[in-house]
Structures are given as C-alpha cells and as structure tokens.
Amino acid sequence: MADPPAVSGLDSGLLLRPVPGGNAFEETVQRLLQTVRLGLVAPGERLPAERDLAAQLNVSRDTLRDAIASLAEAGYLVSRRGRYGGTFVTAVIPASPDPDGAAPAPGSAEIDDVLTLRDILEVGAARAAASRVLPAAERELLWASLGAVREASAEDYRRLDARLHLYIGELAGSPSLVPLLADVRMRVNDLLDAIPLLSPNIAHSDAQHEQIVLAILSGRAGAAAQAMREHLAGTALLLRGFLE
C-alpha cells in the first residue's frame, strides 16, 4: 500500500525540524500538534515512519514514542499495527480544549496583536517568495496548492487555506520563518473558528489567492506583497466585525 499523496504540494516536514535541547518532549509534542492542527498531515494520513521522524526532530525514539502516545491519548493520533501500520492522524481532530466550558471572547488588543503580527510576517513572506527564482518543482507545487484551496469543501477549506499560506512562507527561503508563521496561524485559526464561513468571502479569498500566486510566479515582489496585504485586510475586517 503506497503512502498517500501529498496534499496541496505542501511539505509535511515544514514543522518537523530539529527541536532545541532542554524540553525535548514538550517541543516534540508542540511540533506534532501544530503539524496535525494546521493540516500539514491531513486527517487519516500517516506520519513519517518512527525512525525517520525521530531523525527529523533530532530526538530519541523513546521521546518520540512518549509524545505520540500522549497525543494518541488526547485523540489526535492513532497507532496501527501490521504491514500497513504506523501512526495516523485521527479522522476527526479534537477541538481546542476549553477547561472552563466557554472560552472568553478575544479582546481588541489580542485581535490587534495577532493581525499585526500576521501582516508583518505574511506580507514579507509573499514579497520574499516573489523575489526568488523558483525552480519548476516549487512553481508547480505552489499552483497545486492554489488549486487545492479552490476545490476544497467547506469542511476542508480553512485547513487547505492554512497550508497554502504556510507554503508561501516556505518559498520565502527562510526556514526560521515557517515556525513563526505556524504559531501565528494557530492563533488566527482560533479566531476564525469563532466566526461563520461565508460563501462570498470564500469566493473573494480564492480570487485574492490567485492574484498572490500569480504575482509570486511572475516575480513581481511589490504586487505579491500588496495582494497579500489586501487579502489579510479582508480577513481582518471580518474578524473585527464579528468579534469586537
């Protein structure tokens, strides 16, 4: 049985990089959790083999097993034995934990913080990606990422949208940027989960995604940055309208 094909062209190893020392178990849990919650490995898909994953993260296999067992207990992963076994993302990802039963609404300062940080990181990422000479394989994967978002169901839209944005970050050419984008995207997703998915906004976002991707592929750095800025501004308006 072959491994499932990559979705959106995005490298599932974006966040599975060597963890710093000191808190290996906690860092490993965080990397795996971000990889799952941001959809870099989709529900039902298999994680890399244990040996490969431990090498990617530069942790011991015991540490990795403890992290996987913890996330399996929390409902994010499931281990299967046999010839086609391995560690898989569960079909239904648990919702973010809310120990009080009702998460407080985010304040204006919190929304301002995450949206400002997102603007700084993602506009810069689009500009940097468009400034690079991308090889054919990366150009094809970027176009495939765009197509996957266009064809996404309502259930999968936000996951594939996040993957496209993170892939643009990868194309910027700075490995250190991707974990920062993942952190801010996790915060953005928490906000997006609190507002409805609006069909006209999805259509508009798809058109804006195309403008961003075309600008990157044609090497127009200023246009890519401006298209990304306008795209993020639209999302910011919805979040402020619903949440403030």
pLDDT digits (tens, 9 = 90+) for 84-123: 788 999 988 886 555 455 556 677 888 999 999 999 999 9
Answer yes or no: are the C-beta atoms of 86 and 80 closer than 8 Å: yes
Residue 139: is its pLDDT beyond 90? yes
**Sign (positive or negative) of CA dihedral 204, 106, 35, 134:** positive
User: 3-state class of 116 per DSSP?
Assistant: helix
Rounded CA-CA distance 114/206 in Å is 22
Longest pairwise C-alpha distance within the chain: 52
In this structure, which amino acid lies at residue 99? P
CATH number given to 108-243:
1.20.120.530
| pLDDT of 1 | 37
For the chain, residues classed under CATH 1.10.10.10 are: 24-89
Read off the pLDDT of each residue in 64-72 and give the average, rounded to a whole number.
Answer: 90
Backbone φ, ψ for residue 87 (5° rounding): -105, 125
For the chain, residues classed under CATH 1.20.120.530 are: 108-243
| pLDDT of 29 | 87
Answer yes or no: are the C-beta atoms of 68 and 46 closer than 8 Å: no
Residue 80: is its pLDDT beyond 50? yes
Distances (CA, A) of 126 to 7, 8, 187, 214: 21, 17, 20, 11
Tokens 């046999």, residue located: 82
pTM, rounded to two decimals: 0.76
- Of the listed ranges 8-22, 24-38, 147-161, the one predicted with least confidence: 8-22
Backbone φ, ψ for residue 14 (5° rounding): -55, -45
Whether domain 24-89 has CATH 2.60.40.3470: the reply is no
Is residue 92 left, alpha or beta, with left meaning phi > 0 and alpha meaning psi from -120 to 50? beta
| pLDDT of 218 | 98
